[in-house]
Amino acid sequence: MAVTKMKKGGLIAALCGIVAASGGFVAINQIQDSSPAVIQTYEAVKEEKDYTVMVYMIGSDLESDEDEVIGAGSKDLQEMIQVMAGEQSAAINEKANLVVEIGGSYRWEVENLADMQNARFCIDDKGISGLTEIPATNMGESAALSDFINYASGTYPAENYVLLFWNHGNGPVEGYGYDVLYGGDSVMLSEIREGIENSQLANKKIELVGFDACLMGSVEAAAVMSHYADYMVASAELEPEEGWDYTWLNVFAEENITGEIIGQKVVDHYDTFFETQDYQITLSCLNLESYQEMAEDFSLYLNQFLTENNEEIYGLISQKRKQIQGFGNSVSCTDTSDLVDMEQLFRTLSEEAWQKSSLEESMDKLVPVKKSKGYGQEICGVSIYLPQWFRCYAGGKYSKISGQWICRNIFRLCIRLWRIPLIWRNAGFRTGFAKI
C-alpha cells in the first residue's frame, strides 16, 4: 500500500490507515541498540551571551527513511546556517548561540552529518562548528532531553534560553517526536516535563518553548509548559512538511528582545511563508504567565455551565460540536487527535457561562499573538482535547494527561457528557483518569 508523505503530525493517521487496510499490525522500524541516556553536567566553552537557542531535532521519516533521504530537517538546518552566517551574522552571533542535537533518523542530507546517528553542534558565522558525534541515543527518552539541555546551557551559557522541538507532533495525548531508530518512541508531555525538571534549567524559566511540529498548540501542553517557560509557540493544526521559516532568527540582530517579540517573529514569518499556499494553517504565541488566570476562569465557566444544564447534556454537546472547528482531521478516537478550538467549544456550549466567567478576557491574555488562514471561522489559537467517544478515556488515553488540573476539570464535563456509570467513574479514578 502506497503512503503519501504526510505533513508533520500526520504519521499516526497514516499508520492507522496501513493497519486498517492490512487487517493487522505493520512493523516499520528496526529498533537499534543503545545505552540509557546519562544526564551529565558540562563546562562552558563560550562566554555568556544574551540568548542560547536549543534545537532538539528528531529527524524521523521527515529527514529519511531506510531507502530515501527526504531532507526536511536538513533544509531547516540550512535555513539556520544562512541566517547565522548571513548578512547580519556579526550582530546575531554577538547576542545568541544556536545549539542543535540531531537523531532519530536513518541518514541526514547535510553532508557533514550524513552518516551520524546522533550528533550535537553549534551553528554560527562559520556554519556548523563544534560537531560532536555522541553515543547512540533514543531521543524519545526524557533523560536524553535533560542531557541535551544541560549540554546546550552548560557549554553555551546565556542569560535567556529558547528551547525548540522539531519533528512530528500528535497533540497532548500522543506527544511530540517519532524516533524511527527506536520503535517510533515519542516524548510524551509528562516526559517533556521530566526532561526539563531533571535538567539544570529546572529552576530557571525558559524564555520561550516552541514546537515546530503538528498539533502541539493545546491548552494541555500550555499547562505543562507554564511551569517552565514564559512563552510557547505552537500550532493547534497540522503543519505542512516545510514547517517554520527559520529566517525569524534575524530577530537576534535587534535590540531589546523579549519572548513575546521572538514569538511574534516566528508567527509572522510562518504566516508569510505559507500566505500563497493552499493550506489551513494556524500558529500562536502563548503568554504562559496568563495560564493560571485562564484556568481559574475556566473553572468558573464549568461551574456555571453545569449549573445551567442539570439535565443530561450528551445531546446538547453532540449537536453543537458539529459547529466547532476540529484539528488534525479528527473524526473519532481512532483518528489523529480529537482536538477542538477551545474558545469555539465553550462559547458555543454556553454564551452566558462564557460571559460570566470572564474566560474571553483571560483567553485573550493567554494568546496575545496568533495567525491563521483557510478556515471559515475565527480560530482562537489554542486547542483542547475532547474525544467524541468515552472509550478514548476508558481505554487509557486520558490517563496520559490526567495529572493536569485543567484535564481534571474537563473530565467533570465528560462524566456528564457520556453519562458515565458510577462503576466506570470509580474505575477511572483508581487508574488515574482523574481526581476530582
pLDDT grade, residue 397 (50/70/90)? low
Give all strands (DSSP E) within 134-280, no chain letters.
158-166, 176-179, 185-187, 206-212, 229-234
The Cα 157–Cα 48 span in angstroms is 5
Q: How far is CA 258 from CA 11, 21, 106, 234, 252, in A?
A: 34, 49, 37, 17, 10
Cell numbers standing for residue 304: 456555571
pLDDT over 70 at 330, yes or no? no
SS3 45: coil
pLDDT tens column, 90-121: 999 999 999 999 999 999 999 999 989 999 99
Averaged confidence pLDDT in the chain: 83
60 Cβ contact partners less than 8 Å away, ≥ 6 residues apart: 11, 104, 105, 167, 168, 177, 178, 179, 180, 184
419 Cβ contact partners less than 8 Å away, ≥ 6 residues apart: 312, 314
φ, ψ of residue 149 to 5 degrees: the values are -60, -45
Q: Which of 31-40, 44-53, 250-259, 426-435 shows the lowest per-residue confidence on average (mean pLDDT)?
A: 426-435
| 320 burial via Cβ count (<10 Å: 0-12, 13-18, 19+) | middle
Residue 343: the pLDDT is 94
pLDDT over 70 at 225, yes or no? yes
Residue 360: the pLDDT is 93
Strands ordered across the beta sheet of 281-287: 127-133, 119-124, 96-103, 49-58, 158-166, 206-212, 229-234, 281-287, 369-373
Residue 404: the pLDDT is 57
pLDDT tens column, 36-73: 788 999 999 999 999 999 999 999 999 999 889 999 99
For the chain, give every domain's residue range: 11-289, 291-366+376-430
Cell numbers standing for residue 196: 526539563
Residue 416: the pLDDT is 56
Percentage with pLDDT > 70 across the chain: 77
pLDDT grade, residue 321 (50/70/90)? confident
Strands 96-103 and 49-58: parallel
pLDDT grade, residue 322 (50/70/90)? confident
Which H or E run includes 379? none
Provide the CATH topology of domain 11-289: Rossmann fold (3.40.50)
Q: What is the mean pLDDT of residues 140-160?
A: 98
pLDDT grade, residue 33 (50/70/90)? low
**Cα distance from N-terminal residue to C-terminal residue, the chain:** 46
The Cα 232–Cα 208 span in angstroms is 5
Query: pTM (2 decimals)?
Result: 0.87
Residue 400: the pLDDT is 60
